[in-house]
A and B are shown apart, each in its own frame.
Chain A
Amino acid sequence: MSDTVDVAERVEPAPAGRPSRSLPRRVGEAFLRRREASVLVVAVALGVYFASASFAFLTQPNLVNIAQATAPAAIIAAGMVLVLVSGEIDLSVAAVYALAPFNMHYLVDYYDVPILLAIVLALAISALIGFVNGFITVVFRVPSFVTTLGTAYIVIGIVLTTSHAYPAPIPEAATETIRNWFGDSDWAHITWCLLIVAFFHVLLTRTRWGLHTIAVGGNPLGATEAGIRAGRIKIGNFMMVATLGGFAGMLDAFRIDTIDPNLGGGFGIMFTAVSAAVIGGTSLAGGSGTVIGAFLGALVLAELQNGMNLIGISANPYFLILGVAIVLSMIANVYLSRLRRAGRT
């Protein structure tokens, strides 16, 4: 060790000043863990509070309600986190969420496509919309905010025009089993959700795709210089979030047993998903985010809405609280990342 140049001498982080080598690392890891842990604490605290305030909160039917409210937002948020981490955003996912069940309905009832194949094709069409989003963003260098704002209105327009703004029933061809699998049973939503969250968590943290997603969002030029095909990564992530949007739409259509052109409220569930991601510690600037945090963020939002309902607060302050939560978690994010970089010269 005697002949090594100690390049470390200048970078001893200012706050602690303690000499131990593993300490900065441990502090760093604690920070990282806390990003998800802080949302977890909020989720648990809300649960405890509402449980003590209302006996109905922890009853099974109500837990099913919360699970069903959490799942679609968390499923979309899982993909949204990847898009956000790669430095983009997808505003069109709520529209895709509304379109996918209609496509299933059209394929089954007008083109006699078998139901399972129709579901797969509807998801493929969702992925195609994601591809268009990514392609326009990457190739024509249109900011994704604008690209997906445009495609969102286009897709909403397609939904309203083709459905004449009338809801449609779930196709007769969908058997009991299929309905149960795709959301018409109590725990189907949350089971899909947990599987998807687990998958995307691993994808983001343990695979090349995830690493390259972080690289592309964190340092676009550097990532390209290292030979990473930023365009491919971004397009792939757009395709994933759109597919998840279509899937979440399918689940909700089966759950409410009707295909509603206003499902997703135009932009509503997209904003819920982005809120969940942000509350869960994902930065809109790209480069950092967690899928589990986004899931917990969606859970917090669902708890808030459900719990306030139960204890008899009107739904109106919900938005107030949502807004405060977003702003506070954004400030915390910025502050945390500044802390993490304090050592940089």
Chain B
Amino acid sequence: MTAGAPNGEALRVEHVAKRFGGVTALADVNLRLGRGEVLGLIGDNGAGKSTLIKILCGFHQPDAGQIFVGGEQVVLKSVDHARTLGIDTVYQDLALINELSVYHNMFLNRELVRWPLLSNRRMRRMAREHLEDMGVSIPSVEDEVAKLSGGQRQAIAVARSVYSDARILLLDEPLAAMGAKEGALILDLVRDLKDRGEVSIIIIAHNYGQILEVCDRINLLQHGSITFDKPTSQTSVQELTDLVVAEYRAARTSRLRPDPSTNAQPEPRP
């Protein structure tokens, strides 16, 4: 894969592979995220999307391949390390702690401290401001998140990453638990970030309509490799749906044959 100009590049992944025991989660992933770009990552369940995100945020270490942040090769040693490089993540499971308050969750592992004590008042105030900014209304930032609805929890997880001053945001299904209104709220937020142009974003989503609204480019992850890469303007919900459904059909027919499709090498990306 040929790299773009280093200036215009936020993140690049080359030949990344990851295996869990005998299961190949990622075979050979090549991916490029431009500065200020919003990239939509789609693919069926089990295609390896979450594994890729967890590698990019430092949670898993890849078995092979290189990762470049801002043009420089890095080895992401831990989530903390990735965060210091400006990579922040909204996980599919949200990574919220039920027993902690909303504001402690929003500052989890990034707490404001006046050593040795937490600056609770400042964190409360900033959490309130950030949520107001986003247009999320919550009874109180002092509530334990266990009390909140799925949409509110998701909004808090997104707010936590957005306000972390990250330069690269990884959103793993940020819209999953959200109704139409709440989903619109997150999409607006992504659009705002895009307009400001400082943050580069990868979004995983299953709703192709929503993803086409905000993304500049779409990548399809199939069998552990990127098999499709097009600007949003050159594709459509129909095409994306067809791609994924075609894969499903192929898998279904191949199940009837003796040799399962897992060994079939997907097409290299165009």
B146 within 8 A of A: yes
Binary flags per residue of A189-206, CB closer than 8 Å to B gives 1, else 0: 000000000000010001
Bound-state Cα–Cα, A3 to B137, Å: 10
Q: In whole Å, how far is A46's beta carbon from the nearest beta carbon of chain B?
A: 30
A-side interface size class: 35 or more
Taken together as a complex, chains A and B put the C-alpha atoms of A341 and B97 apart, in Å, by: 13
Q: How far is the CB of A139 from chain B (nearest CB, A)?
A: 16
Contact A225 B89 (CB under 8 A): yes
A-B contacts, 23 of them at CB < 8 A, read: A4-B135, A5-B137, A5-B184, A7-B136, A8-B138, A10-B151, A11-B152, A24-B139, A24-B143, A24-B147, A25-B140, A206-B120, A211-B111, A211-B118, A212-B109, A218-B97, A223-B95, A225-B95, A226-B109, A227-B83, A287-B97, A344-B98, A344-B148
**Known contacts A22-B140, A214-B99, A219-B97; is-contact A224 B79 (Cβ 8 Å):** yes
Hey, which chain B residues are within 8 Å of A229, CB to CB?
Answer: 78, 80
Of B89, B96, B97, B142, most A-chain CB atoms within 10 Å: B97
B140-A219 in contact (CB<8A): no
**Contact between B95 and A11, CB atoms less than 8 A apart:** no
Q: Are B97 and A222 in contact (CB under 8 A)?
A: yes
Chain B: minimal CB distance from A87 (Å): 11
Q: How far is the CA of A288 from the CA of B97 in the complex (A)?
A: 11
* CB of B29 to closest CB in A, whole Å: 21
Q: Among the listed B111, B113, B139, which residue makes an inter-chain contact with A8, where contact means beta carbons less than 8 Å apart?
A: B139
A167 neighbours in B (Cβ, 8 Å): none
A21 with B140, Cβ < 8 A, contacts A221-B95, A344-B147 known: yes
8 Å CB contact of B95 from A211, A217, A219: A219
Given contacts A4-B135, A25-B140, A223-B97, contact A207 B116 (CB under 8 A): yes
Contact mask B83-103 → A, CB, 8 Å, 1/0?
A: 100000101011111111000
Task: How many A-B residue pairs have C-beta atoms within 8 angstroms? Tell me.
Answer: 137
A4 near B79 with CB under 8 A, answer no
CA of A295 to CA of B135 in the docked complex: distance in angstroms? Answer: 43
Q: How far is the CA of A66 from the CA of B116 in the complex (A)?
A: 33
B136 touches A4 (CB 8 A): yes
Interface pair A228/B109, CB less than 8 Å apart: yes
Residues of B within 8 A of A212 (CB): 109
Does the CB pair B111–A206 fall under 8 Å? no
Contact residues in A for B257 (Cβ distance below 8 Å):
none
A interface list, Cβ under 8 A from B: 1, 3-8, 10-11, 13, 21-22, 24-25, 28-29, 202, 206-208, 211-212, 214-215, 217-219, 221-229, 287-288, 340-341, 343-345
Pick the contact of A7: B108, B118, B182 (CB < 8 A): B182
B116–A4 CB distance below 8 A: no
A179 to B91, CA, bound (A): 55
Q: In the complex, which of the residues A215, A344, A345 contacts B108, with contact meaning CB atoms closer than 8 Å?
A: A215
Q: Is the CB of B113 within 8 A of A208?
A: yes
Residues of A with C-beta under 8 A to B139: 8, 11, 21, 24-25
Cα separation A212 to B142 with both chains bound (whole Å): 17
In the complex, A344 Cα to B117 Cα: how many Å?
Answer: 30
Residue from A219, A225, A229 with most neighbouring chain B CB atoms (10 Å): A225
Contact call A28/B144, Cβ cutoff below 8 A: yes
A8 touches B152 (CB 8 A): yes
A73 to B99, CA, bound (A): 26
Judge whether A341 and B146 touch: CB under 8 Å: yes
Least distance between A92 CB and chain B CB atoms (Å)? 26
CA distance A340 to B147 in the complex (A): 7
Interface residues of B in 118-145 (CB under 8 A from A): 118, 120, 132, 135-140, 142-144
State the CA gap A217–B100 with chains docked (Å). 11
CB of A207 within 8 A of CB of B79, answer no
Contact residues in B for A6 (Cβ distance below 8 Å): 137
Residues B117 and A5 in contact, CB atoms below 8 Å apart = no
What is the bound-complex CA distance between A228 and B58, given in angstroms?
Answer: 12
